[in-house]
Amino acid sequence: MLRSLVGSEMCIRDSTAIMVGTSIGARRGILVKSGVVLEAVSNISCVIFDKTGTLTTGALRVVDSQLFEPKTAGSVTSTLQSDVLRAIVAVEKQSTHPIARAVATFVQGLCGEEAFEIPEVTESNTIPGKGITATVGGVRVSIGSLNLAREAAPEGFPKALTDHSKTSKTTVYVVYGEHLAAVFLLQDEVREEAKDVVEYFHSMNKTVLMVSGDNENAALAVANAVGIPDSCVFAGRLPGEKVSVVSSVQQNSAVDNVVCFVGDGINDAPALAQANVGVAIGAGTDVAIETADAVLMHSSLRDLATLHSLARKVVWRIKLNFVWACAYNCVMIPFAAGVFLPIADINLPPLFAGFAMAMSSVTVVCSSLLLRLFRPPLRDPSQ
């Protein structure tokens, strides 16, 4: 009898609280794909951030460049040959990555007001975590990381090349044919709210890590700016290696770690799928959004703290409703069953018993509706 009477309250306590919680999130631009996600978010023990486009704005810009004569690869020049310029723009326009867009914009700016026709690109191939290669006008062009450049330029780099191994900026290499043609240094801005969000999770005793495909110095510069210790930074990681980082954190504990991965790019999709909770930035790629369990539509990291706080409130409210429903029914069922009638001549008429049972459901619903009073832990100063 107790099971049948309490059953309705159990259904109501879960569904109402989840419905209110997800609607609050939706109004704030946080899309949660299921109620199970809220429970997982409330239990996370570790948050892993991607760097570019997540902790940073993703609006990269070229701040320095070094250009070489592509055929002899010997002397530094002020401008690239026209065909190399066209090739760089043509290849980078094959990609939607923020780095590719920044390089293409910069190279077009080198030409000033001069208009040029972008050549046709064939055999384009994007290599996750490394860059892109393509054939332009019969010449192989490779644009991306240092490792990709070394593979594409077997004869090595010109002596005039500046050592960028210790720079804190993102470095992009261009190989035209088999010779290094250009090096671009890009800089990204750290999101203004990133440090506050990291501090929030630290205050909640959560482990905060950062994983990036960028060079170590660039990754450490961002980590130091937002308050992530150097020991918690994983730099130079390919997409598959990001998955390994997530997997190792999940298994590196006597108690199973609940890991939340936050990313925005196509390179983050495997890690988003591997994590217990994958959270995508709304301005990210469609693949990342499709893979993630929750999406921050406003592309603000403050919403991640809001999601975590909201999930904890929802789960706490569900538990409170459960305790209330059990206690209420344990007290009222004996009265309705007439247990105290022969002892103290106390009886609950059927009309009042039915009303009391209805009130049990009403109080659970009202308790869940109190979630509408939720306030985010980090307020946007602009609002």
Q: Please report the sign of the dihedral spanned by the C-alpha atoms of residue 100, residue 102, residue 107, residue 113.
A: positive
Tell whether the torsion through CA atoms of 157, 146, 164 and 182 is positive or negative: positive
Catalytic residue list contains 50: yes
Q: What is the mean pLDDT of the chain?
A: 83
Mean of pLDDT values over 88-112: 85
**Stronger pLDDT, 372 or 164, i.e. the higher one:** 372
Going by pLDDT thresholds of 50, 70 and 90, the confidence category of residue 47 is: very high
pLDDT in tens, 325-355: 777 777 776 766 666 666 766 666 777 767 7
Write out pLDDT tens, residues 272-309.
Answer: 999 999 999 987 677 788 889 999 999 899 999 999 99
Among residues 14, 50, 196, 230, which one is catalytic?
50
CA distance 210 to 220: 9
What does the pLDDT look like over 212-268, one tens digit per residue?
A: 988 888 899 999 999 999 999 999 888 889 999 999 998 876 556 899 999 987 788
pLDDT at residue 84 tops 80: yes
Asked if 134 and 91 count as a contact pair (C-beta separation under 8 A), the reply is yes
Average pLDDT of the residues in 70-92: 66
- pTM value surpassing 0.85: no
Q: Give the Cβ contact number of residue 229 at 10 Å.
A: 12
pLDDT in tens, 202-224: 999 999 999 998 888 889 999 99
Contact 1, 274 (CB under 8 A): no
Share of the chain above pLDDT 70, in %: 85
Which residue in the block uniquely carries the two structure tokens 């019969």?
Answer: 138
Q: Give the pLDDT of residue 77.
A: 44
Q: Is 145 exposed, middle or buried (0-12, 13-18, 19+ CB in 10 A)?
A: buried
